[in-house]
Amino acid sequence: MASDKPSLYTAWHSPFGWRAWISLLEKGVEFDYHETDPYEKSPEWFKISPRGLAPCIRHKGKSVYESTICMEYIDEAWPCTPRLLPEDPYDRAYVRMWTDHVNKKIIPHIFGMIVHQTATEQEKSKQDALDGIAAYLEAMRDGGPYFLGQNFSMADIALGTFGSIFFCMEHYRGFKVPNEAKFVKFHDWIQTIVARKSWQTVLPPREQVLEDWRPYAEGVAQTELAKAAKQGKTP
Amino acid sequence: MMSDPKPTFYTSWFCPFAQRVWIALLEKGIDFEYIDVDPFKKTPEWLSVSPRGLVPVLVHQGKSVYESSICIEYIDEEWPENPILPKAPYQRAYERIWADHIAKKIVPPFYAMLLKKETELQENAKKEMLEQLLVLTKAMDPTGPYFAGSQVGLVDIMLAPFAIRFFILKHYRGFQVPSGDESPFSRFNKWYIAIKERDSTVKTSASDEEYIGIYKRYTDDTGQSLVATAIRQGTALP
C-alpha cells in the first residue's frame, strides 16, 4: 500500500543528494533513508528511479528525481515553514533563475576542476567557477544572511551543499574563494549555511569527503559522473 | 514609476526556446508587447535586459525573467487563470521531470544531428533522438492527445517548438519519426497532430521556407549561437 511517509534514496557522499536530504530535514518531515549506489544499475533500482538517478524520493507510490525537482516537490508537498521558495511569483522566478545559474554556471566547473587532469583545464575551471560564484554573490539581496536576504531558500541549498565541501577542491586543486572585494560575502554566507542543523546532519567527516573525491582528482574514476564532468555536463 | 501590468516579451522569430514562452503567453490570453531582437548583437542595452544575452526574456514591472521553463512557470503563477501546470505536487513534479528530459535528452541530439559533420555522429544523434522520444512517449497519458491528457501543459509547450522543426531534420539529415498505427511512436504522432494544429503553435511558427533557410547555417558549420558552440565543443547547452 502506498505510504504517506516518504523514502529518500541517496548516496551519503553526493552533494546533489544532500539537496533533497537537507530539504526534508529543514521541513521536519519524517522519512526513511535508503543508502543507495546509483551506479549499481539493478532492475530493482530502475523500478524505484526510472532513469536510475539519485537522489530519488518515493512518496505515495510515485518517484520524484532530479535534485532541483526534488527540492520544489518537497516544498510543495510539505508547504510548512521554512518555505524553500517564497510566495511572490517574481521572487520565485528569481530563486529558480539563480538555482539554474548554480546548476549551469558553477557546479559543472566545480566538477571540471577536479576531473580535468591538465593544469590549463583546471585553471580555466577554477576561473569559471569563481566567475559563476561572483555573479551569484552579486545577485544576493541585501540584508543577509541568506541569498534572498532574511529568508532561507532553495537558492541557498543549491550552492550551499557544494559550497560546504570547497575544502576538497582546495585540497586537490588549490581552489579558494578569495576573501576580498566581490567575494567577501561568500564567507559569511557559507558559515551561516553550514551552521544549520540540517547541514551538520548530512555533512560527512572531512577525511571521508576527501577520500570519496580522490579517484576523480586522480583521473581513475570511471563513473558516468566522471565522463559527464569531463564534457562540462552534470547528470 | 507607472505601474506596468503589460509584460514585454523579447524574442527572436526563429528561436524554439523563445517560441515556448510565446506559446505560453497566447495560451494564457495575456496582453503583451512583442519585441524581436537580434541576440547575436550583445549591446549594453540588450545585456541590461538580458544578463546572459539570450532570448527569451520576459520583462514585467521592470524585472527580467529568463530561461524558457522559468518564464513559463512565472507566467503560470502571475496569471493563474487557464493553468499550465496542475495543482497537485506530484503532477507538477511529473511535468518538470519530463520537461527536464526534453532539455537533457531531446534538445541536444536535435542540434547534434544538424551541427555534426561526420555522418556517423549524425546517425548516432538520430538514434539517440528516437530512443529518447520513445521514452517520453511511454510517459504520456495513454489517451491524450496532449502529454498529460486533454489539457495542454508544460511538457507540450516545451516540446512543441522542436517537434514542429523535425521537418528540418528530415530535409537536411533524412530523420523521420516512424509512422503507422502499429508503430511504437503512434502515441507520439497522435500528440504531434494535436499540437501542430493548435492555435498557439500555428500563430508562433514561421513558414517552412523560413525555417529551412535559417537552419542552413547549422548544417554548413557557420552557426555562431551559444547552442552551436556548445554542441561543437561537446559541452552542456546554455
> Which pLDDT tens digit goes with each residue over B87-143?
999 999 999 999 999 999 999 999 999 999 999 999 999 999 999 999 999 999 999
From first to last of its 235 residues, what are the pLDDT tens digits of chain A?
557 999 999 999 999 999 999 999 999 999 999 999 878 888 999 999 998 999 999 999 999 999 999 999 999 999 999 999 999 999 999 999 999 999 999 999 999 999 999 999 999 999 999 999 999 999 999 988 999 999 999 999 999 999 999 999 999 999 999 998 899 999 999 999 999 999 999 999 999 999 999 999 999 887 777 777 777 766 5
pTM of the model: 0.95
Q: Is A73 in Cβ contact with B92 (below 8 Å)?
A: yes
The number of CA neighbours under 13 Å toward the Cβ of A139 is: 22
pLDDT at B219 over 90: no
Share of chain B above pLDDT 70, in %: 97
Q: What is the mean pLDDT of chain B?
A: 94
CA dist A140 and A36 (Å) reads 34
The more confident residue out of B231 and B61 is: B61
Of residues B2 and A147, more confidently modeled = A147
Sheet (strand B33-36) strand order? B33-36, B8-11, B57-60, B63-66
Name the residue among A114, A133, A139, A8 with its Cα closest to residue A67: A8
Could you say which residues from 42 to 61 on chain B have a Cβ atom under 8 Å away from some Cβ of chain A?
Answer: 60-61
Inter-residue contact A199 to A160 (CB < 8 Å)? yes
Its sign, for the CA torsion A143, B79, B95, B206, is negative
Residue of A nearest to B66 (CA): A97
Chain A residues touching residue B71 (CB < 8 angstroms):
93
Whether B169 has a pLDDT exceeding 90, the answer reads yes
- Which pLDDT score is estimated for B4? 61
Nearest to B93 among A73, A97, A232 (CB): A73
Structure letter (DSSP) for residue B103: I
Predicted pLDDT at A147 = 98
**Coil vs helix vs strand at B87:** coil
Separation in Å, CA of A14 to nearest CA in chain B: 20
> Model confidence at B72, in pLDDT bands (50, 70, 90)?
very high
| CA–CA min distance B213, chain A (Å) | 31
Of B137 and B227, the structure prediction assigns the larger pLDDT to B137
Q: What is the pLDDT of residue A55?
A: 97
Query: B238–A104: do the CB atoms touch at under 8 Å?
Result: yes
Residue A63, strand partner residues: A58
CA distance B106 to chain A (A): 14
* Contacts A72 to B, Cβ<8 Å: 92-93, 96
* Cβ-based interface (< 8 Å): residues of A facing B: 51, 59-60, 62, 64-66, 69, 72-73, 76-77, 89-90, 92-93, 96-97, 100, 104, 108, 231-234
Cell 546572459, located at residue: B52
Which residue would you say has higher pLDDT here, A3 or B181? B181
For residue B11, the tally of other CB atoms under 10 A from its CB is 22
Residue B19 has pLDDT above 60, yes or no: yes
CA A224 to the chain's CA centroid: 17
A219-233, B5-19, B54-68: which has the minimum mean pLDDT? A219-233
Query: Once rounded to an integer, what is the mean pLDDT over residues B47-55?
Result: 89
Phi, psi at residue A111, to the nearest 5°?
-65, -45
The sign of the dihedral angle between the CA atoms of A75, A78, A80, A81 is negative
Q: Tell me, what's the pLDDT at B1?
A: 40
Q: What is the pLDDT of residue A143?
A: 81
A-B contacts at Cβ under 8 angstroms? 67
Closest CA in chain A for residue B238? A104
pLDDT higher than threshold 80 for residue B163:
yes
Within 8 A of B70 by CB-CB distance, chain A residues are 93, 96-97, 100
Specify the pLDDT at position A2. Answer: 59
Distance CA B146, CA A184 (A): 49
Contacts of B90 in chain A (CB under 8 A): 59-60, 62, 64, 73, 77
pLDDT band at B226 (very low <50, low <70, confident <90, very high): confident
